[in-house]
Amino acid sequence: MPVVRVPDESGNTLTLLEVDGTYRAGNSSVPDHENEIRSIPTWQARDDDVLICAYPKSGTHWLWEVTSMLTRNKAERIPGVKESAMLELIQQSRFDNLPSPRVVNTHVQYGQVPKDMLDRRCKILYMIRNPKDVSVSFYNHHVNLLDYEFTGSWEHYLPRFLRGDVDCGSWFDFTLSWENFILQIPDYPILVIYYEDMKSNPVLEIERIATFLEVPYDDVFIQSIAQLCDFNTMKSDKEPLEDADDWRGGKPDMYRRGEVGDWKNWFIVGQNDLFDTVYFERMQNSKTNLRFSL
């Protein structure tokens, strides 16, 4: 397994898996993990597969829970974590044996998803979150998950994030990749969901998802899912499913705050100016319309 330790300016390193020039989170429980990741584009799809795509720390688990409840037609907690159905963290054999309808998720760019999914026009839910909040959440994720072996400061982490020296690479590359896919194939069945919209009006967004997935629903069902998938409810319900031994201090922290605008508690003026400069340079031609606060 090609494990690399990627340093920042101060010498603090982040332990990652490198596959063909792209950084990934490693999973020691997957034999020959590097080649499993390489093989993902060849995996065979089913017509009723649903694929959730999002950059890390953009609400993937949240959306996975909502979508799984809708496709199962049950407002019940899913007994597992999203990593159990995440393309780049499982073996092909597990993917092949997941029961239909499969709701799988990924952090890869569109060119790295199973080609058969795109050929079959499987439905895709694309979740996007403003990158300032993503950077703060990713920093805390890297500090607290022991596998990353990371103890760096926020001061030196932000330039790392802007360069894309993290698992899944650059937020900008990822976002522009999916935007390009949408523009190239405008009739593809893909629904764009903004994290900030899910926070401000979860009932409306869950209804949009249900309509897109063509699943039956009524107001009671949607309200039940919204309540079960409320951030505070998920934080209290789900963390026991995380292995405490994986986390610094034995305290699972997959769900930290989930707020829109938490970046304001972290960014100083110079960091915000730096971020805005890079953002406007990279996204000047983008049609992505993000909100950095509510």
Q: Which domain holds residue 97?
A: 3-283
Beta carbons of 294 and 129 less than 8 angstroms apart? no
Tokens representing 164? 């894309």
**Residues linked to residue 127 through DSSP beta bridges, in sequence order:** 54, 193
The answer to the question of residue 290 being in a domain is: no
Q: What is the pLDDT of residue 77?
A: 82
* CATH number, domain with residue 149: 3.40.50.300
From the CB of residue 87, how many other CB atoms can be counted at a distance below 10 Å? 22
Quick check: is 288 in a domain? no
Tokens standing for residue 113: 């998803």
Is 256 a domain residue? yes
b vs e for 179-207, b when ≥16 Cβ sit within 10 Å of the residue's Cβ?
Answer: bebbeeeeeeebebbbbbbbbeebeebbb
E strand or H helix at 236, and its extent? helix 231-238
Residue numbers annotated as active site: 107
Number of domains in the chain: 1
Tens digits of pLDDT across the chain (294 residues): 589 999 998 999 999 999 999 999 988 888 999 999 999 999 999 999 999 999 999 999 899 999 999 999 999 887 767 678 999 999 999 999 999 999 999 999 989 999 999 999 999 999 999 999 999 999 999 989 889 999 999 999 999 999 999 999 999 999 999 999 999 999 999 999 999 999 999 999 999 999 999 999 999 999 999 999 887 776 665 544 555 556 565 465 555 677 899 999 999 999 999 999 999 999 999 999 899 998
